[in-house]
């Protein structure tokens, strides 16, 4: 167990050093309530998507937080986009949900979605789309 813990500590330090030298580190480091793990996950998963997207809409869509409507006859289903990076979606949604506790702007977007009778996961995805547009603009 001690050797495993020592290896984990070494890997944590290596990841922290690599993340701090990444070109997007100044952008993501200023985001409210971003922890070391979220910081590394977002840089690792969102960074490559950000680099290859030309506009904000494909960037938001590729992360998988855009709703997809499937309608046939009388049935209508709203789901998440399956052709998306699931790890990126989990990283950015968990960050956005956490950010509402440290940012008045994020809390207002989340609370407005809750006031419109959106369930918690839907409100978190609405907040996530807003964060992704901010990231794209920066």
Give pLDDT, residue 130: 92
Residue 52 scores a pLDDT above 80: yes
Give pLDDT, residue 10: 92
Q: What is the dihedral of CA 36, 37, 43, 49, to 10 degrees?
A: -150
Give pLDDT, residue 105: 94
What is the pTM (predicted TM-score) of this model? Answer: 0.81
Q: What does the pLDDT average to over 53-72?
A: 85
* Mean pLDDT for the chain overall: 87
Q: What does the pLDDT average to over 3-21?
A: 87
- The CA distance from 130 to 124, in Å, is 10
Give pLDDT, residue 131: 93
Q: What does the pLDDT average to over 92-109?
A: 92
Q: Token pair for residue 24?
A: 């997007």
| Reported confidence tier of residue 6, pLDDT bands at 50, 70, 90 | very high
More confident residue, 132 or 78: 132
- Interacting residues of 10 by C-beta distance below 8 A, sequence separation 6+: none
Cβ-contact 64, 125 below 8 angstroms: no
Give pLDDT, residue 109: 94
Q: Which of 6-10, 79-83, 115-119, 122-126 has the lowest mean pLDDT?
A: 79-83
Give pLDDT, residue 4: 93
| Reported confidence tier of residue 14, pLDDT bands at 50, 70, 90 | confident
């Amino acid at each position: 167990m001690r050797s495993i813990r020592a290896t984990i500590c070494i890997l944590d330090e290596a990841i922290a050093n690599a993340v701090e030298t990444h070109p997007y580190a100044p952008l993501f480091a200023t985001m409210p309530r971003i922890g070391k793990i979220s910081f590394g996950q977002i840089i690792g998963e969102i960074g490559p998507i950000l680099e290859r997207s030309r506009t904000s809409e494909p960037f938001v869509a590729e992360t998988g937080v855009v709703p997809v409507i499937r309608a046939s006859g009388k049935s209508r289903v709203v789901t998440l986009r399956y052709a998306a990076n699931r790890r990126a979606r989990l990283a950015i949604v968990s960050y956005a949900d956490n950010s509402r506790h440290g940012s008045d702007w994020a809390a207002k977007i989340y609370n407005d979605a809750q006031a419109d009778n959106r369930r918690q996961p839907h409100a978190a995805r609405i907040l996530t789309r807003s964060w992704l547009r901010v990231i794209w603009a920066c």
